[in-house]
Amino acid sequence: MSGRWVEVANGVYARRYVELDQTLGLVVGDTHCLVIDTGTDEVHGASMAAAVRFVTPLPWTVVITHAHFDHFFGTAAFLPASVISHERCRSLILAEGERQRRVWSAKYRSEGKAEQADRLASAQLVAPTEVITSQVLLDLGGRTVTLVHAGPAHTDHDVFVHVPDVDVVFAGDLVEQGAPPSIGPDSHASHWPSALDRILDLRPAVVVPGHGDPVDAEFVRRQRNDLARGRR
């Protein structure tokens, strides 16, 4: 599965994929690196893992931003590794992962995408090994990042990643570029603007969405205001 790197700051990368217009992330320190989400299946995950290894040989830690299949079914490609998420994300991966697999495999098959359906059907479901409830700092060696749960929004367990030395935020699906924010049955639209305020309070220079190209703070502010007005 092909993708392309976008270097958004020194040692900070977004990996863009055509499928679902998805964006995964990588933050490189002096001694460790952090991989942000792992993709839709093990082939996608292996593609991301190989791309990371092209950038750095450092040991990796993985963070899963939320429990939607396209963000966690590629995790097996990164094992052994510490895999971090919000505590409810881990619970939902275990409780709902197989259902999501069935639903999306059937959807892909109905669209004539048999290869993607088969890849998802055979992917190993890997649960996070470590959980957070609010926020945690990770030392990557010479660079500290913060994992933050900003409250209910796209889901009730979204985690974003702040890289303060370069003013970058990886927002997961709290932010989308190229399409309106995805408000699903597990979303909390009325609280979503408050979660985006947490990001805007950090005055980021670059925000990397879970889907689409990196954006600036003004883009996030417009999306926040649209959500507050009930527009998508």
Joined tokens for residue 85: 């998420």
Question: Which pTM was predicted?
Answer: 0.97
Task: For residue 222, give the amino acid letter.
Answer: R
Q: Which CATH number fits domain 4-228: 3.60.15.10, 3.90.1150.10, 3.40.50.300, 3.90.1300.10?
A: 3.60.15.10
Q: Does residue 2 surpass a pLDDT of 90?
A: no
**Over the chain, what is the mean pLDDT?**
97
pLDDT at 80: 96
Q: What mean pLDDT is predicted for residues 212-218?
A: 98
Q: Which residues pair with 34 in a beta bridge?
A: 27, 61
pLDDT at 231: 60
Question: Tens digit of pLDDT for each residue in 116-126?
Answer: 999 999 999 99
